[in-house]
Structure 1
Amino acid sequence: MDQLTALRVFVRIAESGGFSKAADTLNMPKPTVTKLIQDLEAHLRVKLLQRSTRRVSVTEEGQAYYLHATKVLADIDEMDTLFADARGGPRGRLRIDVGSSLANLIVLPHLPSFRQRHPQIQLELGVGDREVDLIGEGVDCVIRGGDLTDTSLVARPLAALDWGTYASSDYVAARGVPAHPDALADHDVIAYFSSRTGRVFELLFEHGDDTVRFDPRGLHGVSVNESTAHLTSLVSGLGIGQTFRFMAQPWVESGDLVEVLPQWTRPHHPLHLVFAKSKHDSARMRAFIDWALEVFRPFDRHEGRAPR
């Protein structure tokens, strides 16, 4: 039995809650995963996992073994980190999940510089606005926006993005410009909704001490659940909507988009690099974090250099 591989398999099952998920994220056949766990339990002479028709749970002995196993794996990763430079730099697989607009407009255009620095890192980039289960799906790191509530994960501040409210020049020519957020009730509004919950996100406007929350539900307009499609809807003249300023700026400069209600702002949108605590000392993770902080710095409104 390859006990180190068995340890990794056991930890992945304990974190994901299933043999199939572990097999998929580790790129192993499910029978191999099953055999490794059987051999590990036989070697230890204890039951680590309790299997039922619906779920896999960790036994009391398995919980204790999990704590030791994660420490052992973290120590191994730390040893790899210590000798990474001597072996020619960090190497291996790194799976990152990024929202669609951030991937297409920031990460992917800058990715050649990461590949040049770290050619031995095999980067797998998941792209989409769906919120992933970082642990359960075997993702090493996500770039996630908004407020974070999961204290079991490490969150490194990445940037604070600026918002704007926009419509196409054709839409403005045909329908005019709202003088106040309340006037959006007389316009077509492009809404954004969660692909996971279906919740429609409100538009938020602040001006001095005044705050206006605008709920686009029930209006005649288009709703989308993907950030790049939301921008395309704005450029296509389907209505008025709020998006990140860095996304809209090229279209504003070309004259295709017009900023409306510019005196009304919205609080900056915080971005974080989020990863499991066990990944903190990984050489691959540290390499990606250093690169991402550098790439996103020009877009950070707190740095005062956000494109306008």
Structure 2
Amino acid sequence: MDKIRALQYFKRAAELNSFSLAAKEFDVPPSSVSRRVKDLEQVLGFELLKRSTRHVSTTELGQVYYQMITEVLQKLNEADELVSHRMGVIEGKIRISALPGYGARVLAPVLRRFRQQYPGITLELNYSDQVVLLGQDAVDIAIRVGAVVEERVIARHLTRSSFKLVATPELLAQLQATYGKEKLGFEELKTCPCIQIRSPRGLIDWWQQEDDDWQKIPISPVLTCNDSETILDAVLAGEGLLISALWEVQEALASGELVEVPTEKPVSYGKIPEVDLFILYQQGKYQIPKIKHCVDFLIRHLGDKPPV
């Protein structure tokens, strides 16, 4: 029995709660994963996974065993990757996870230049709002809001962005004429057509800053959505107002397709006036040339810029 492969299969099946999903990652039949794990259980003399028709989960001993082997397998993988790279040759796959809007509009053009400089690199991009665990998920580098620090994970600040309330020039002019005022206040925002973002944790509320406190605005959304492209299309079509991080709407503001909506008091979502982005990676993987060069390239081109 190839024990290392069996351990790898068990680890991913335990994390994904599925033989079929683990098999898909390793590009093998689900029966291969199941059989290798069964062989491992026979060697150990105890059951690692509880099986049902559509789901697997760790037994009590299986969870203890998983925790003990995870760091060992991680170090083995890092060692294999490190010694497999010849000095001065940057090649191989890099898996990157980023927020959808930031990934498509800001990160992608920079990564295109990175690949031009290092043509031996293959990029696997995943744009998602879901929280990733670098020690478990198939991700080498993540770009996320906030420094979500796991053990042995480095979080380095990239940039800071403000939030903007935006609309098409035509919709803004219409609303200003309807309410008879240039700056919209709390009462006007309650009745304006709005587009509301839905995150994995639920709908993102709108807030108005009141001195050192925040007041929730009970908006009336005409559209709620979790897809950044659909949301941007809707606001560009004049369907409603949108609160967004600047990186989502910066191009549309520059072109004049959208304008910032003047308000009597600052508005935002999440009770924060601005947001910080961090690049996350595992400490050990930074020794691997392809990861180090990619992280350094992204920080050089995206990081340490003045807040916008």
2:300 aligned with 1:294: yes
Structure 2 counterpart SS, 1:191 = strand
Identical positions, percent: 29
Amino acid in the other structure paired with 2:73: L
Residue 154 of structure 1 aligns with an amino acid whose one-letter code is: V
* Structure-1 separation of matches of 2:130 and 2:50: 31
Q: Distance in 1 between matches of 2:54 and 2:207?
A: 42
Please state if 1:229 is matched with 2:230: yes
The superposition leaves residues 252-295 of structure 1 with CA deviations (integer Å, 9 ceiling, x where unpaired) of 23222221236625421232345677866655544443333233
Structure 1: 5+ residue runs without aligned partners?
none
The match for 2:266 is 264
Alpha-carbon separation, structure 2, partners of 1:38 and 1:84: 31
Relative to structure 1, is the Cα distance of residues 173 and 265 closer, same or farther in structure 2, using a 3 angstrom cutoff? closer
Q: Which moved more, 1:66-75 or 1:5-14?
A: 66-75
Q: How many residues align?
A: 297
Q: Aligned partners of 2:21, 2:194: CA distance in 1, in Å? A: 40
Contact 1:81 1:283 in 2 (8 A): no
Cα distance 1:69–1:284, how it changes in 2: closer, same or farther (>3 A)?
farther
Q: Aligned to 1:221, what secondary structure does the other structure show?
A: strand
- What does residue 193 of structure 1 align with? 198
Query: 1:171 matched to which residue of 2?
Result: 171
- Provide the TM-score with structure 2 as the length reference: 0.79
Aligned to 1:24: 24
- Partner in structure 1 of residue 256 of structure 2: 255
Structure 1 equivalent of residue 15 of structure 2? 15
Shift of 1:11: 1.5
1:205 to 183, 205, 208: 208
Question: 2:87, 2:5 → 1: CA distance?
Answer: 22
Q: Structure 1 residues 6-15 or 34-43, which shifts more?
A: 34-43
> Which residue matches 2:306?
304
Using the TM superposition, give the Cα deviation of residue 15 of structure 1 relative to its aligned residue in structure 2, in angstroms: 1.9
**1:223 to 1:58, Cα distance in 2 relative to 1, 3 A:** closer
State the secondary structure of the residue aligned to 2:203: coil
Contact 2:166–2:259 under 8 Å retained in 1: yes
| Alpha-carbon RMSD | 3.3
The residue number in structure 2 matching 1:180 is: 185
The 1:170/1:204 distance shift into structure 2, 3 A limit, reads same
Q: Note the alpha carbon deviations across 1:201-239, whole angstroms, 9 max, x for none.
A: 1122336446332132xx262222222322222222112
The answer to whether the 8 A contact 2:206-2:267 is kept is no
- TM-score w.r.t. length of structure 1: 0.79
Q: Distance in 1 between matches of 2:128 and 2:279?
A: 16
**2:218 paired with 1:215:** yes
Q: Could you tell me whether the CA contact under 8 Å between 1:77 and 1:281 is conserved in 2?
A: no
User: Does the C-alpha gap of structure 1 residues 122 and 44 become closer, same or farther in structure 2, counting only changes over 3 Å?
Assistant: farther
SS at match of 1:222: strand
Q: Are residues 235 and 275 of structure 1, via their aligned partners in 2, closer, same or farther at CA, if it must alter by over 3 Å? A: same
User: Kindly tell me: are residues 207 and 289 of structure 1, through their superposed partners in 2, closer, same or farther at Cα, counting changes over 3 Å?
Assistant: farther
Q: Does the Cα contact within 8 Å between 2:160 and 2:307 map onto a contact in 1?
A: no
For residues 12 and 278 of structure 1, what CA distance do their matches in structure 2 show?
20
Do the aligned partners of 1:16 and 1:135 also contact (CA within 8 Å) in 2?
no
Q: Which amino acid aligns with 2:248?
A: M
Amino acid at match of 1:232: D
